[in-house]
Chain A
Amino acid sequence: MTYKFIDNVTMADVAFEAKNKDLNKLFEDCGLATFDTMINLKKVKSKIKKEIKLQAENIEELLFKFLDELIFLKDSESLVFNKFKVKIEEDKIFKLNCVANGEEVNIRRHDTKVDVKAPTMHKFKVEKKNNSWSAFVILDV
Chain B
Amino acid sequence: MELKKPQLKKISNTEWEIPKSFKKGMNVPARIIGTEAIIDSMDLRVYEQISNVATLPGIVNYSFCMPDGHSGYGFPIGGVAAFDPEDNGIISPGGIGFDINCGMRLVKTNLTYKEVKPKLKELVNNLFEKIPTGVGRKGFVKLNENSFRDVVEQGVKWCVNNEYGWKKDLEFIEENGCMKGADSTKVSDKAIKRGFSQLGTLGSGNHYLEIQRVKEKNFFDKEIAKKLGFFDDQIVIMFHCGSRGFGHQIGTDYLQEFLKVMEPKYKINILDKELACAPFNSKEGQDYFKAMKCAVNMAFANRQVILHRIREVFSKIFGKDAENLGLDMTYDVAHNIAKLEKYKVNGKIKELLVHRKGATRSFGPGIEGIPKEHKKIGQVVIIGGSMETGSYILTGTDKAMEKTFGSTAHGAGRLMSRTKAKKMFVGEKLQKDLEEKGIYVKGASMKGLAEEAGDAYKDIHSICETLELAGISKRIVSLEPIGNIKG
Question: Could you list which residues of chain A lie within 8 angstroms of chain B, going by C-beta atoms?
Answer: 5-8, 10-14, 38-39, 64, 68, 71-72, 74-76, 78-80, 104-105, 107, 110-115, 117-124, 138, 140-141
Q: Compute how far the CA of A141 lies from the CA of B418 in the bound complex, rounded to whole angstroms.
A: 10
Q: A9 to nearest B CB, angstroms? A: 8
Q: Compute how far the CA of A39 lies from the CA of B300 in the bound complex, rounded to whole angstroms.
A: 28
Chain A residue, CB-CB nearest to B451: A114
Q: Compute how far the CA of A76 lies from the CA of B244 in the bound complex, rounded to whole angstroms.
A: 11
Of B136, B138, B418, B487, the residue contacting A12 (CB under 8 A) is B418
Q: Which 3 A-B pairs have the closest CB atoms?
A: A122-B73, A75-B245, A121-B273
| With A76-B194, A79-B136, A141-B418 as contacts: A120 and B487 at CB distance below 8 Å | no
Answer yes or no: B74 CB below 8 A from chain A CBs: yes
B448 contacts A75, C-beta separation under 8 Å: no
Question: Could you list which residues of chain B lie within 8 angstroms of chain A, going by C-beta atoms?
Answer: 43, 45, 70-74, 77, 97-99, 133-138, 190, 193-195, 197-198, 203-206, 244-245, 248-249, 251-252, 255-256, 259, 272-274, 276, 414, 416-420, 444-448, 451, 487
Q: Compute how far the CA of A138 lies from the CA of B418 in the bound complex, rounded to whole angstroms.
A: 13
- List the A side residues contacting B205 at CB < 8 Å: 114-115, 141
Q: B118 to nearest A CB, angstroms? A: 28
A74 contacts B136, C-beta separation under 8 Å: yes
A117 contacts B273, C-beta separation under 8 Å: no
* 9 chain-A/chain-B pairs, Cβ below 8 angstroms: A7-B420, A72-B193, A72-B249, A76-B194, A79-B136, A105-B135, A111-B446, A118-B248, A118-B252
B136 contacts A105, C-beta separation under 8 Å: yes
A11 contacts B414, C-beta separation under 8 Å: yes
- Interface SS, B side: mixed
Q: Compute how far the CA of A118 lies from the CA of B247 in the bound complex, rounded to whole angstroms.
A: 10
A7 contacts B417, C-beta separation under 8 Å: yes
B204 contacts A11, C-beta separation under 8 Å: no
Chain A residue, CB-CB nearest to B195: A75
B273 contacts A140, C-beta separation under 8 Å: no
Chain A residue, CB-CB nearest to B77: A12
Candidate in B98, B135, B273 with the most chain A CB atoms within 10 angstroms:
B135
A121 contacts B276, C-beta separation under 8 Å: yes
| With A7-B420, A11-B417, A121-B276 as contacts: A113 and B135 at CB distance below 8 Å | yes
Q: Compute how far the CA of A71 lies from the CA of B253 in the bound complex, rounded to whole angstroms.
A: 13
Q: B208 to nearest A CB, angstroms? A: 13
- List the B side residues contacting A76 at CB < 8 Å: 193-194, 197, 245
| With A114-B204, A114-B451, A121-B276 as contacts: A10 and B136 at CB distance below 8 Å | no
- List the B side residues contacting A6 at CB < 8 Å: 419
- List the A side residues contacting B256 at CB < 8 Å: 64
A10 contacts B71, C-beta separation under 8 Å: yes
- List the B side residues contacting A7 at CB < 8 Å: 417, 419-420
Q: Compute how far the CA of A72 lies from the CA of B446 in the bound complex, rounded to whole angstroms.
A: 24
